[in-house]
């Protein structure tokens, strides 16, 4: 591949709602650019950027995969991103490493939930964007309706740069608004004839052209004055103004086409190459890891090195493939660099240019380029590489907490051992995945952004380690406590000849304020319990607390006072006093009005205004308590306290109620007493399980 300077590079991500044709568009890019001679199909897993077995099985993109190729004296470094909602947080991480976004929209559906989310990320990072309205050849395709839906829902200045000729079965070509030329396609090989603009589209094309010129003129006072005076902008002035308007987000170009038939794709590539920014058009913000001060970096091939890791792939026979974007400087094989996130040195080995599943060695990556590194020692997703002499790093992207969890149980002891060996590396490909042991329920928990992501991780685990897992609803980490005061005697007496066991303890239980845990009070006087046995009493209590009394959950917020007891000179022992303490404690708990506590979550739910009624009603049915509502543009954020027991699979229900436009986060807030009718069923289930074990 030829060498390119930073001003010739266009680094962008192809994003959008699921099934809007992102992967097919990238495949069509590669075909029209001459990189491949035949287009692959998502349906049979033959595309360059969807090659994972799970992607083929589900026919959805799972990983963000780069593809680098040349077009019109530029290098396009494109990243094909997932669109399924479970993987959208990864899209945010990729956009953080790009200069622009190409947002795919279906001509049949218009603006969808995933479109909104992608534009939220675009606005967050202040990225220029181009909209590609695909599937123009499909039934019910409506270009104008799709453009209008973007303006109505997203807001902003969406202006067609490419206009369709026909739609659905009559779709045959496109008009380039700036060139004012039509391109009529024949077959599905990208072959076209250039013609004059059809008469029935002349007025529409002229209107779009005028909107583009107006947006360009508004970027500069001198251009504005010239435009208002009725003078035409020169080609140079128009080009400069258009790029400035796109860079600032005041103008969002809209293109269209059919990726499967390659209609309009060459014109889309021309707009990308001509109008989207190069690395030199933007200043990147870095951080000094020592002072934490921000550093504004103007990209240059000969500048101080700054590299961002935005994706890590786990591949068989290769291991970790680290996908990077070079922001500044030049990265070369064999160089010693500095992981400024960790503060450790790293040796760069092979550097690869990536075209989906195809990779080739390259002698360098310069500012703006995307590539892959292998066999790195410590570097992980979200981290930065720089020179040790001038350390700097990009701020790490914060990922949301998982929204759905399952308990997983290895099918056999052999599976248990295999799972333990691979658990630590499971989240390397996706930071939104968590695997951990619940300290209360002792279950292994897999947590992710949705069912599909969890299913994929479990499937990969089975392939990687040949582990068979069973999944179930996670147990709720309830707690037990008491509401009253009670006293009880715990006795151990086994004296039938020889060395026996004897211990008597008298305990008083009192409730403590929430969050105080456990308190032990030694109130023995007169030596009725020898000093050397008192620690054994406390130890017996501490060993009993985690197992609870009424339902098998940890006991908390209780003060236990040892106020009397008895011992035997020969038969008393530490074990006897530990056992007596446990017996007495359980007896006292049963007489101290024991109750069950459940975790209450602080939940923040963001939904469109029109879904508020359904959301509030649903929260009420989940025993939720509404704490407030805040307007957020066209959406509303609802604050509520909801029992964790009622939040199982909530993300699935929320997506259903809001058409995928709702989202939520939750964190633990406090523990609260379980209503009596629910507590009785939980306690009864525990008693049933205990009887079965016995």
Q: Span 604-624, mean pLDDT?
A: 97
Domain harbouring 643, CATH code = 3.30.70.240
* Banded pLDDT at 269 (limits 50, 70, 90): very high
Q: What angle do CA 578, 582, 586 make, to 5 degrees?
A: 170
DSSP notation for 493-545? EE-SSSS-EEEEEEEEEEE--TT--EEEEE---TTSS-GGGHHHHHHHHHHHG
Partnered with residue 518 across adjacent β-strands are: 558
Q: Span 623-633, mean pLDDT?
A: 95
- Final residue of a domain: which of 281, 302, 336? 281
Q: Are 545 and 588 in contact (CB under 8 A)?
A: no
Other beta carbons within 10 Å of 436: 12
Nearest to 157 by CA among 220, 212, 107: 212
106 and 169 both lie in a single domain? yes
- Final residue of a domain: which of 236, 264, 281? 281
Q: Are 194 and 181 in contact (CB under 8 A)?
A: yes
pLDDT of residue 464: 77
Burial of 683: CB neighbours in 10 Å, binned 0-12, 13-18, 19+: middle
Of the listed ranges 52-61, 341-350, 367-376, the one predicted with least confidence: 52-61
42 and 184 both lie in a single domain? yes
493 and 614 both lie in a single domain? no
371 and 416 both lie in a single domain? no
Q: Are 97 and 461 in contact (CB under 8 A)?
A: no
Domain span at residue 439?
404-472
Distance CA 502, CA 85 (A): 63
Domain harbouring 314, CATH code = 2.40.30.10
* Banded pLDDT at 430 (limits 50, 70, 90): confident
pLDDT of residue 497: 67
Q: Which residue has the tokens 């975790």?
A: 599
The helix/strand/coil state of 588 is helix
* Banded pLDDT at 319 (limits 50, 70, 90): confident
Dihedral sign for Cα 267, 269, 272, 274, please: negative
506 and 444 both lie in a single domain? no
Structural domain contains residue 226:
no
* Banded pLDDT at 427 (limits 50, 70, 90): low
pLDDT of residue 317: 78
Q: Are 356 and 22 in contact (CB under 8 A)?
A: no
Listed in sequence order, the residues at least 6 apart from 125 whose beta carbon sits closer than 8 Å to its beta carbon are 95, 96
Listed in sequence order, the residues at least 6 apart from 585 whose beta carbon sits closer than 8 Å to its beta carbon are 488, 490, 507, 509, 540, 541, 544, 549, 560
pLDDT of residue 191: 95
Of the listed ranges 279-283, 430-434, 587-591, the one predicted with least confidence: 430-434
349 and 492 both lie in a single domain? no
pLDDT of residue 428: 62
Percent of the chain with pLDDT over 70: 98
Of the listed ranges 213-217, 410-414, 517-521, 564-568, the one predicted with least confidence: 410-414
Distance CA 104, CA 674 (A): 48
91 and 50 both lie in a single domain? yes
pLDDT of residue 461: 83
Residue 495 has pLDDT above 80, yes or no: no
Of the listed ranges 6-20, 355-369, 446-460, 556-570, the one predicted with least confidence: 446-460
pLDDT of residue 425: 61
pLDDT of residue 150: 98
Q: Which two tokens stand for residue 135?
A: 């599937």
Residue 1 has pLDDT above 70, yes or no: no
User: Residue 473: which H helix or E strand, with range?
Assistant: none
Q: Span 18-33, mean pLDDT?
A: 98
* pLDDT tens, residue by residue, 64-73: 999 999 999 9
Structural domain contains residue 684:
no
Percent of the chain with pLDDT over 90: 87
463 and 557 both lie in a single domain? no
- Final residue of a domain: which of 570, 592, 614? 592
Of the listed ranges 42-51, 496-505, 540-549, 571-580, the one predicted with least confidence: 496-505
Q: Span 524-552, mean pLDDT?
A: 97
Give backbone dihedrals phi and psi of 539, rounded to 5 degrees, phi first: -65, -40
Structural domain contains residue 360:
yes
190 and 88 both lie in a single domain? yes
Structural domain contains residue 293:
yes
Nearest to 267 by CA among 202, 335, 351, 174: 174
Distance CA 625, CA 600 (A): 10
Domain harbouring 490, CATH code = 3.30.230.10
Of the listed ranges 200-204, 318-322, 355-359, 391-395, the one predicted with least confidence: 318-322
Structural domain contains residue 112:
yes
Radius of gyration of the chain (CA): 32
Q: Which two tokens stand for residue 589?
A: 């708990």
Mean pLDDT of the chain: 95
* pLDDT tens, residue by residue, 191-204: 999 999 999 999 99
Q: Which two tokens stand for residue 32?
A: 């029209």
Q: Are 643 and 603 in contact (CB under 8 A)?
A: no
Number of domains making up the chain: 5
Distance in Å from the first CA to the final CA of the chain:
71
358 and 495 both lie in a single domain? no
Q: Which two tokens stand for residue 598?
A: 């459940």
Residue 424 has pLDDT above 70, yes or no: no
275 and 288 both lie in a single domain? no
Beta strand 404-410 pairing with 469-472: antiparallel
Structural domain contains residue 202:
no
Domain harbouring 165, CATH code = 3.40.50.300
pLDDT of residue 457: 87
Which range of 352-361, 418-427, 629-638 scores highest in mean pLDDT? It is 352-361
Q: Span 38-54, mean pLDDT?
A: 92
Structural domain contains residue 243:
no
Q: Span 502-522, mean pLDDT?
A: 97
Q: Span 130-158, mean pLDDT?
A: 97
Under the phi-then-psi rule, with left for phi > 0, alpha for psi from -120 to 50, and beta for the rest, what region is 42?
A: alpha
419 and 352 both lie in a single domain? no
* pLDDT tens, residue by residue, 470-492: 999 999 999 999 999 999 999 99
Residue 32 has pLDDT above 70, yes or no: yes
DSSP notation for 172-215? -EEEETTTTEEEEEETTTTEEEEEPPPHHHHHHHHHHHHHHHHH
Beta strand 319-328 pairing with 370-374: antiparallel
Listed in sequence order, the residues at least 6 apart from 440 whose beta carbon sits closer than 8 Å to its beta carbon are 477, 478, 479, 553, 554
Q: Span 615-638, mean pLDDT?
A: 95
Structural domain contains residue 313:
yes
């Amino acid at each position: 591949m030829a060498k390119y300077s930073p001003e010739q590079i266009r680094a962008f991500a192809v994003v959008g709602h699921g099934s809007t044709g992102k992967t097919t568009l990238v495949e069509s890019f590669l075909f029209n650019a001459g990189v491949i001679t035949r287009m692959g199909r998502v349906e049979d897993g033959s595309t360059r950027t969807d090659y994972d077995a799970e992607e083929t099985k589900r026919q959805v993109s799972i990983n963000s995969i780069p593809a680098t190729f040349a077009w019109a004296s530029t290098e396009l470094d494109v990243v094909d991103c997932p669109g399924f909602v479970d993987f959208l947080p990864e899209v945010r991480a990729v956009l953080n490493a790009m200069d622009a976004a190409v947002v795919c929209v279906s001509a049949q559906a218009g603006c969808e939930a995933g479109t909104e989310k992608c534009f939220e990320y675009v606005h967050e990072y202040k990225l220029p964007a181009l909209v590609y309205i695909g599937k123009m050849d499909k039934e019910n395709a409506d270009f104008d309706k799709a453009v209008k839906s973007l303006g109505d829902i997203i807001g902003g200045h969406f202006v067609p740069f490419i206009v369709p000729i026909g739609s659905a079965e009559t779709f045959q070509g496109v008009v380039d608004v700036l060139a004012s030329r039509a391109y009529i396609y024949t077959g599905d090989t990208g072959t076209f004839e250039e013609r004059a603009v059809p008469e029935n589209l002349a007025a529409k094309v002229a209107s779009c052209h005028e909107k583009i010129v107006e947006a360009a003129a508004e970027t500069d006072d001198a251009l504005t004055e010239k435009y208002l005076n009725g003078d035409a902008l020169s080609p140079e002035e128009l080009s400069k103004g258009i790029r400035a308007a796109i860079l600032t987000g005041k103008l969002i170009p809209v293109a269209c086409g059919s990726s499967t038939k390659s209609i309009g794709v060459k014109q889309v590539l021309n707009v990308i190459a001509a109008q989207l920014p190069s690395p030199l058009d933007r200043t990147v913000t870095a951080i000094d890891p020592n002072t934490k001060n921000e550093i504004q970096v103007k990209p240059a091939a000969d500048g101080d090195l700054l590299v961002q890791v935005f994706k890590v792939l786990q591949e068989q026979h290769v291991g970790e493939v680290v996908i990077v974007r070079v922001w500044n400087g030049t990265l070369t094989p064999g160089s010693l660099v500095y992981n400024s996130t960790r503060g450790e040195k790293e040796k760069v080995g092979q550097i690869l240019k990536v075209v989906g599943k195809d990779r080739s060695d390259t002698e360098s990556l310069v500012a703006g380029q995307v590539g892959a590194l292998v066999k790195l020692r410590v570097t992980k997703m979200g981290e930065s590489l720089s020179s040790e002499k001038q350390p700097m790093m990009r701020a790490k992207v914060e990922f949301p907490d998982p929204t759905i969890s399952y308990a997983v149980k290895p099918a056999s002891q052999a599976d248990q051992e295999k799972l333990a060996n691979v658990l630590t590396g499971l989240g390397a490909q996706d930071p939104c995945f968590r695997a951990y042991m619940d300290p209360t329920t002792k279950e292994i928990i897999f947590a992710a952004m949705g069912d599909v992501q969890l299913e994929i991780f479990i499937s990969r685990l089975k392939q990687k380690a040949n582990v068979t897992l069973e999944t179930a609803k996670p147990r709720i980490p309830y707690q037990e406590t008491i509401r009253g005061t009670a006293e009880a005697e715990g006795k151990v007496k086994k004296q039938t000849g020889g060395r026996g066991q004897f211990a008597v303890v008298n305990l008083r239980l009192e409730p403590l304020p929430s969050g105080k845990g456990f308190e032990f009070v030694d109130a023995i006087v007169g030596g009725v319990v020898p000093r050397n046995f008192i620690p054994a009493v406390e130890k017996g209590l501490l060993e009993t607390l985690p197992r609870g009394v009424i339902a098998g959950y940890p006991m908390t917020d209780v003060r236990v006072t040892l106020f009397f007891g008895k011992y035997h000179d020969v038969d008393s022992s530490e074990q006897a006093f530990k056992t007596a303490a446990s017996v007495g404690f359980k007896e006292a708990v049963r007489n101290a009005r024991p109750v069950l506590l459940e975790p209450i979550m602080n939940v923040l739910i963001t939904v469109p205004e029109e879904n508020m009624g359904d959301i509030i009603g649903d929260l009420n049915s989940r025993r939720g308590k509404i704490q407030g509502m805040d307007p957020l543009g066209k959406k509303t954020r609802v604050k509520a306290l909801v029992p964790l027991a009622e939040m199982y699979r909530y993300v699935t229900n929320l997506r259903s109620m809001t058409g995928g436009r709702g989202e939520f986060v939750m964190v633990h807030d406090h523990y609260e007493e379980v209503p009596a009718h629910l507590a009785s069923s939980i306690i009864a289930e525990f008693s049933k399980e205990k009887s079965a074990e016995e």
